[in-house]
A and B are shown apart, each in its own frame.
Chain A
Amino acid sequence: MREIKYSEAILEATDFSLENDPSVLVVGLGVPDPKGIFGTTSGLQEKYGEHRVMDMPLSENGMTGIITGVSLNGFRPILTHQRVEFALLSIEQIVNQAAKWFYMNAGQQNVPIVIRLIIGRGWGQGPQHAQSLESWFAHIPGLKVVMPSNSYDAKGLLISSVEDDNPVIFLEHRWLHNTFDNVPSEGYRVPIGEARLARKGSDVTIVSHSYMVLESLRCADVLAEHGISVEVVDLRSIRPLDSKTVLNSVSKTKRLVVADNGWMHFGVSSEIISIVTENIFDKLICAPVRIGMNDSPSPSTRALANHYYPRAKNIAEVISKMLDKTVDLNILFPKTDIPLDVPDPSFRGPF
């Protein structure tokens, strides 16, 4: 099987969807431009024409309403924004209209749309280009929220999202776009709502999603060398949430760490810990611990941002404390010259 980048996987899934179903449209600022949304839409307008693959005005709320309307009348649009934050202009249409539509008309009309959003990190992204707002969207009944962490899942989940009859928020991570994985060249589906056991282990479970899965896997690799066996659950879908896979894993390891891709308060990690403590409190041998972004807006300067984003080392610290093992983290994670505000080149994949 070939290895392709996450961004190429998105492109292939979009290409497959356009080819497979003439009602699919691709709409977004910069979709047909020379950069093609980080390469995820490159060449599609040439292949499918400007009536199916198109640029748009800088009208995020209006365009969200417009793709909702077009979906009521026979089309399956994919709308793309280059950062999550642009979608905040369209929260009204997403939350009040698209998410509620099928319910408020008692199942007479559904809204099959996909909204692709990209989470930034590092390189001075600053307060308005690096927010991981999955819990905002996942809070709303009627929306589905997916967050693939690798190329294989990105392709399969995007195809599933386009074929889904509901509004789907598809959250990509900018630092995943250049990671590789084994990806079949044909179209295939990864079901929405199924987590993935990314690594088997027996001492502790890390539940994570999106980019933080990579940091969790790095942590698990390093700790394995020191006799700590870590299981990693990659949620893949935030809503619907696969609590069964989480509960099975924690029942086995009896310890839980959640490596959140966003802020911890009122977030995905809060939800995971609630589900685990509500259901299998008696199985736990210690209190769950979560880590996530520092509880502040994300600063631009790397001097501060390096202390804002959590990394493998931070997760390892939590786990060693939880297991009451004395490990020298500076030996486990020796200082390197790799700056912390760009993706680690060793995070190439496949994962």
Chain B
Amino acid sequence: MLNKFEKNLYYAMLRIRMVEERIAELYSEQEMRCPVHLSIGQEAVAVGVCEHLQKNDIVMSAHRAHAHYLAKGGDLKAMLAELYGKSTGCAKGKGGSMHLIDLENGFFAAVPIVGSTIPIAVGVAWAFKMKKSTNIVTVFLGDGATEEGVFFESLDFASLKNVPILFVCENNFYSVYSNLKVRQAPQRKISVLAESHGIKTFTGDGNDVQQVSKMTREAIKFIKNMNKPVFIELETFRWLEHCGPNGDDELGYREVGELEKWIKKCPIESYKNTIIEKSIVTETEITQMIENISSEINDSFNFAKESVFPKLELLNQHIYKD
């Protein structure tokens, strides 16, 4: 297929957006009874990075993990069933939205304690190195995670042992309601923290999927050729509330007009305009994409809703491995 890569970038972002919108829409039914941290507005980072990863490359993430999971090829039905707490969920309902897993597709884990998957991802990558595997690990983290001690400990070790890992920092400027300005020294960039550990860094616009994609291609080349870690910082923005299905701009914790500015920079809309201008895709094809995705989403929600809850025996299973 002509321009397959570009079309995939668009399709994958659109699919994540539509999944998240449907979750937001159905959340009030109170059947998805777990906290959800939706990725709307941040799709380009997940897609631009994951489109360059092999199936056996590993991805790890944090609380806002849906986009990363889906971009890495995570099973949509299993993810939604997990949100519904069903036995067909990717963790049989034990984890919920904040503990997605799809080993088949190289999505190892996501956890809500900020920064905590970073060292674990470094360990997984270190194992690849010791096993002389060519696979790499990508760990997604937010700006908040770069304030955790374990972030610095992980950078030090990754650099010390030349571990094949790609750190992707999605800087969306807010941790819950707290602006970066009240949390980090304004004169110091996040990427400098990685640089100061001797780690190659890239910075860029996280709403520009082409830029993210190009940067990731270079980063992976560097990791594989130089056998060293890379750190990417990408600026992006969360459209909805920190946790939950709604907007929360009316609370006034963000500057007036800040959200509107970022919505104008919608990663999906802007990329759509680019690929239409370049005749990579037609409006008809896009309509078809929307239909396909809608139908997949309908099927997947039906699957999740119709699946059964886990049996009581599961409560005491998997505490220890025999």
Q: Which residues of A contact B (CB under 8 A)?
A: 51, 57, 59, 61-75, 92-93, 96-97, 101-110, 141-142, 144, 165-166
Contact = CB atoms under 8 A, between A and B. Distances in A.
A235 B99 CA distance: 36
Contacts of A69: 119-127
B131 interface: yes
A63 B322 CA distance: 26
Contact of B123 (A71, A110, A144): A71
Contacts of B109: 101, 105, 109
Given A61-B150, A102-B320, 9 more contacts: A59-B157, A61-B119, A61-B149, A68-B120, A93-B116, A104-B99, A105-B94, A108-B91, A165-B322
6 contacts: A57-B156, A57-B157, A70-B130, A92-B150, A106-B93, A106-B318
B269 interface: no
Interface of B: 58, 91-95, 99, 101, 103, 108-109, 111, 113, 116-128, 130-131, 149-150, 152-154, 156-157, 160, 314, 317-322
Contact of B160 (A57, A64, A109, A110): A57
Nearest to A142: B319
B318 A63 contact: no
A131 to B, nearest CB: 22
Given A59-B156, A62-B157, A63-B153, A51 B130 contact: yes
B88 to A, nearest CB: 11
A72 B130 contact: no
Contacts of A72: 108, 120, 123-124, 127
Q: Sorted from nearest, which 5 A-B pairs have the closest CB atoms?
A: A69-B123, A65-B119, A62-B153, A73-B127, A59-B153
A64 B117 CA distance: 11
A74 B127 CA distance: 7
Contacts of A102: 318-321
Contacts of B91: 104-106, 108
A184 to B, nearest CB: 26
A97 B156 CA distance: 21
Nearest to B94: A106
A168 B160 CA distance: 27
Contact of A96 (B113, B153, B156, B317): B113
Contacts of A104: 91, 94-95, 99
Contacts of A73: 58, 123-124, 127-128, 131
Given A108-B101, A144-B320, A65 B118 contact: yes
A61 B113 CA distance: 13
Tell me which of A61, A64, A65, A165 has the highest count of chain B C-beta atoms within 10 A of its own C-beta: A65
Contacts of A144: 320
Contacts of B149: 61-62
B127 A75 contact: yes
B297 to A, nearest CB: 24
Contacts of B160: 57
A23 B108 CA distance: 20
A22 B101 CA distance: 28
B99 A66 contact: no
B148 to A, nearest CB: 9
Contacts of A93: 116, 119-120, 150
Tell me which of A61, A101, A110 has the highest count of chain B C-beta atoms within 10 A of its own C-beta: A61
A63 B121 CA distance: 11
Contacts of B318: 102-103, 106-107
A74 B131 contact: yes
B319 A70 contact: no
A161 B319 CA distance: 16
A125 B218 CA distance: 53
Nearest to B139: A69
B74 to A, nearest CB: 13
A24 to B, nearest CB: 12
Contacts of A68: 119-120, 123
A75 B133 CA distance: 14
Tell me which of A57, A64, A104 has the highest count of chain B C-beta atoms within 10 A of its own C-beta: A104
Nearest to A165: B321
Nearest to A113: B123
B163 to A, nearest CB: 9
A65 B113 contact: no
Given A69-B119, A96-B111, A141 B150 contact: no
A106 B150 CA distance: 26
Contact of B111 (A97, A108, A110): A97
Nearest to A74: B127
Given A57-B160, A72-B108, A73-B127, A142 B101 contact: no
A274 to B, nearest CB: 20
Contact of A103 (B94, B117, B125, B130): B94
B103 A109 contact: yes
B321 A103 contact: no
